[in-house]
A and B are shown apart, each in its own frame.
Chain A
Amino acid sequence: MTQSYQTLDIRSSPHLSSGTSVDTIMFNVALALLPVTCFAVYAFGLAALMTLATAVAACVITELVLCRLTGKSVTIGDWSVTVTGLLYGMTLPPALPLWMVAAGGVIAVGLGKFLFGGLGFNVFNPALVGRAVLQAAFPVAMTSWPAMPTDRFTSVPASTLTLPFAEPAYDTLSGATPLTSWKFDSALTETSDLLFGSVSGSTGETCALLILIGGVYLVIRRMMSWRIPIAILLTVGLFSTVLNLADPSRYAGPLFMLFSGGLMLGAVFMATDMVASPMTHAGCWLYGVLIGALVMLIRVWGGLPEGVMYAILLGNAVSPHIDYWIRPRVYGTRDGGNRRE
């Protein structure tokens, strides 16, 4: 008994911890994305599988190599880069040439995360940085949606296997995603199709229902802020309801707006990336409303059919300001405590 006394830990309080840790959070996000991943593979076949696998591999390997090169301890064990890779892959068209997927993955982690100092310091969502650079670099390939034939589980579209640095060739283009057909042909898609994912679109965005289920799981496990997605979805819903009431022939209704495009995936999994979003609850509301408004602005009045990515990136850029202005008032002070200037 005396012996055991000698090995007493001396640590300072608190001697309790909530038990959550970064790696469990990230692992659970990956878990929540699993149904969406499976659905993507079901809907788009081998091409989606290869896209997602390449995306994750490119991100993980980039992180590994960069850590090694700079002599940092390797950080792939915290799952965060896996989440980044998975989400990045989900925002890409399923038949994107794999070399582009890989290039974007390197950019996502290298430019979007590592140069800023790694986990916790990426001021922009790395997955979306990867996508944004790809969209700017290869606007044609990023907006080509090949048809998904029944033999999708046994063969891949020609574009997927394009040689590095070569221009992809597409065999059959299915044409439009729901948003494109709405924007340029004023054609609406059935809400049930949007919910259950029987539409064309980016790899992981098509099944709104599974995305929501993943989100609810994370909210229940308290690993995700519910305020951000709710604020975004409410803003988009209200905004589109008002427009739709004003002129139903020009503006689509809220159900279409909410469930089409990357909004669900973006609102639930990407705007909620804690690193690049505000820290306070009030800040999260404001951030969500801002993103929702930007999405509507770009979708309705902008040149692009979809604006979720840009809206989230802009939200990321504004979030330091939100954190600066929405500082809670420090207890016992009148004006929110000390402030610069």
Chain B
Amino acid sequence: MYRAVVGVGVACALVIVLVYEITRPIIERKRSELRERAVMQVLPGARSSAAFRLTDEGRFESTSSDDEADNLVFAGFDESGSLVGLAIEASGMGYQDTIRLLYGYSFDAEAIIGIRVLDSRETPGLGDLIESDAQFLRNFEKLDVRLTDGGDALLHPIEFVKPGQKSEPWQIDGISGATISSQATADMLRDSAGWWIPRVRPRKADFQTTQGEQ
């Protein structure tokens, strides 16, 4: 009786492995294209990207792009191969569910220079304005994330303010009618940047050494 099950099982396993092996290269190519596109979007000017992993010693080392670890950052490079900045993932609870987004950090500007929502289930027409509202996205053209002199925290943690009240470069203007989603975005960025920037900034060199490899 078990012969039949085992037989079917073996056949199934074969089929799965076969399909997996055939589709894997295609899927991986698409994935990296997708990621590349996202990175380029949050790092205007970038033309290629590479993944880096934060090691336990606090260094960054190059890793394969399908690494599923969660301590990854992506470096973006322009045509000449020089570093444009880093793309970092952040996530947090929004209005309806967890929002995941990618933001671009520029070493030169010491600022966040772009964001892109990877995943959200916010209300269409309200919460999803964080992806499309031009006014809101303008907050991220140059969002100040300078570090303190000690280099271990943001000089001005990112602040959320009511729509139209932005007066400092580290403030984020909310979206009227979607206060919660836009505030969640700000909170996410503040926490994530406060954690990552002090770690990546001193190690800018780690990213430049591998620029040729991508």
State if A and B touch, Cβ cutoff 8 Å: yes
> A-side interface residues toward B, CB under 8 Å?
139-140, 143-144, 184-185, 303
Quick one: closest B residue to A175, CB to CB?
Answer: B176
The residues of B that contact A143 with a CB separation of less than 8 Å are 177
Shortest beta-carbon distance, A306 to chain B, in Å? 14
The residues of A that contact B123 with a CB separation of less than 8 Å are 139
A185 to B163 Cα, complex, angstroms: 11
Q: Using known A-B contacts A184-B179, A185-B162, determine if residue A139 contacts B95 with beta carbons closer than 8 Å.
A: no
Interface string of B140-181 (1 = CB under 8 A from A): 000000000000000000000010000000000000010110
Interface contacts (Cβ under 8 Å), in number, total 14
In B178-212, which residues have CB < 8 Å from any A CB? 179-180
Quick one: closest A residue to B126, CB to CB?
Answer: A139
- Check A303 against B125 for contact (C-beta < 8 Å): no
The residues of A that contact B180 with a CB separation of less than 8 Å are 303
Quick one: closest A residue to B124, CB to CB?
Answer: A139
Closest 3 CB pairs of A and B: A303-B180, A139-B126, A184-B179
The residues of B that contact A185 with a CB separation of less than 8 Å are 162
Q: Using known A-B contacts A184-B162, A303-B95, determine if residue A140 contacts B179 with beta carbons closer than 8 Å.
A: no
Quick one: closest A residue to B183, CB to CB?
Answer: A184
Partner of A140, one of B95, B125, B162: B125
By secondary structure, the B interface counts as loop
A143 to B162 Cα, complex, angstroms: 16
Quick one: closest B residue to A180, CB to CB?
Answer: B179
Contacts A/B (CB < 8 Å), 14 sampled: A139-B123, A139-B125, A139-B126, A139-B177, A140-B125, A140-B126, A140-B177, A143-B177, A144-B177, A184-B162, A184-B179, A185-B162, A303-B95, A303-B180
Quick one: closest A residue to B93, CB to CB?
Answer: A303
A176 to B8 Cα, complex, angstroms: 65
- With A139-B123, A140-B125 known, 5 other A-B pairs at CB within 8 A are A139-B177, A140-B177, A184-B162, A184-B179, A185-B162
The residues of B that contact A139 with a CB separation of less than 8 Å are 123, 125-126, 177
The residues of B that contact A140 with a CB separation of less than 8 Å are 125-126, 177
A86 to B177 Cα, complex, angstroms: 27
The residues of B that contact A184 with a CB separation of less than 8 Å are 162, 179
Shortest beta-carbon distance, B95 to chain A, in Å? 5
